[in-house]
Amino acid sequence: METGHTVAVFGAYGHTGRFVVAELRSRGFVPVLSGRDADKLEAFAASHPGLDARQATVDDPASLDRALAGAAAVINCAGPFATTAAPLIEAALRAGIPYVDVAAEIEANLDTLAHFADRARAAGTVVIPAMAFFGGLGDLLVTAAMGDWTAADEAHVAYGLNSWHPTAGTRDAGTVSRQRRDGRRVRYSQGRLEYRDDAAATLKWPFPEPMGTRAVIGEFSMADIVTVPSHLDIPEVVTYMTVEAAGDLAAADTPAPTAVDEHGRSDQTFLVEVVVRSGGAERRAVASGRDIYAVSAPLAVEAVHRALTGRTRTVGVASAGAAFDAPDFLRALSAHLSLDLRQ
């Protein structure tokens, strides 16, 4: 249990934000509930008596300062992060506290790395973007699989989702990302991002049992193509998505996640397999669990815990694998993930 640190949660009433608030409380933190919609915030706060609720908007820096007043850290769960990340990071820097977000938006994460690295380093604090299922988990798995390697030729992150029921926030973020890249797709190859107009290929990926071999979309790029090369010398980073899950995401009529247990989790399951190759050698790491949104909460909260207890490897803007001891971090999530590191 923690010692009662106060942690502001922006977007607390959103789908992922609710999981983050619950995880913070279960670990002894005191969440401060915040967000842009006053009515939603008030309704959510009513179900959490005793917690402070502070409405704030990203175009009002003073309101953000009030939302973060007295907090030891902030977790940003409110997308699109192209809109919210920079104002919240600015507020965190003014407050001198760690910032963590759950952004899966490739361009938003690039903005954070590009615009805040020097200032966060100078402030001696940490800014950790994409500390979630997409971006954070893959980066931790790749970093753990690398072990003592200082470089690799390629890294592959294959997402085996049995389904994907996207939240409204996921859909909004996807819309913003498509607009920012003019409808093109993006990949990371030869040490740089490339924007392309051609269609991504479909191929087979031999996931471990019980999932087995599945059809996947290659170069279905997620935030890992930003987080992994931000600190690892790997010129080719490729992510894959099961065809069924990609189809769910693309369909306009796919419903939002539905809770099926007392923790609010859906029945969606996932298996993430990472393969890194160097020369003729190959190393792997696998994580599996349930509900991609729910598992983002322990990832973000563990990051805050380590930032507040001096267990980060750097200051400034850093992805999960750069900021933390990756194998140790992953093992700390044993209540939420099944893990297999095979070097």
Predicted confidence (pLDDT) per residue in 135-178, tens digit = 999 999 999 999 999 999 999 999 999 999 999 999 999 999 99
Buried b (16+ CB within 10 A) or exposed e, 220-250: bbbbbbbbbbbbbebebbbbbbbebbbebbe
Give pLDDT tens digits for 206-244: 999 989 999 999 999 999 999 999 999 999 999 999 999
For residue 104, which of 213, 253, 223 has the smallest C-alpha distance? 223
Residue 342 scores a pLDDT above 90 = no
Q: CATH classification of 133-292+334-342, choosing from 3.30.300, 1.10.3470, 3.30.70, 3.30.360?
A: 3.30.360
What's the confidence (pLDDT) of residue 23?
A: 98
For residue 7, which of 57, 77, 79 has the smallest C-alpha distance? 77
Alpha-carbon gap, residue 286 to 278, rounded angstroms: 18
CA atoms 173, 174, 177, 182: torsion sign: negative
Domain boundaries, the chain: 6-131+296-327, 133-292+334-342
- Inter-CA distances, 206 with 92, 158, 180, Å: 43, 10, 33
Q: Find the helix packing angle between 61-68 and 81-95, rounded to 10°.
A: 60
CA atoms 316, 320, 325, 329: torsion sign: positive
Classified by CATH at the fold level, domain 6-131+296-327 comes out as Rossmann fold (3.40.50)
Residue 66 scores a pLDDT above 60 = yes
Q: Where are the beta strands (DSSP E) in 60-191?
A: 73-76, 99-101, 126-128, 154-161, 185-189
Give pLDDT tens digits for 106-120: 999 999 999 999 999
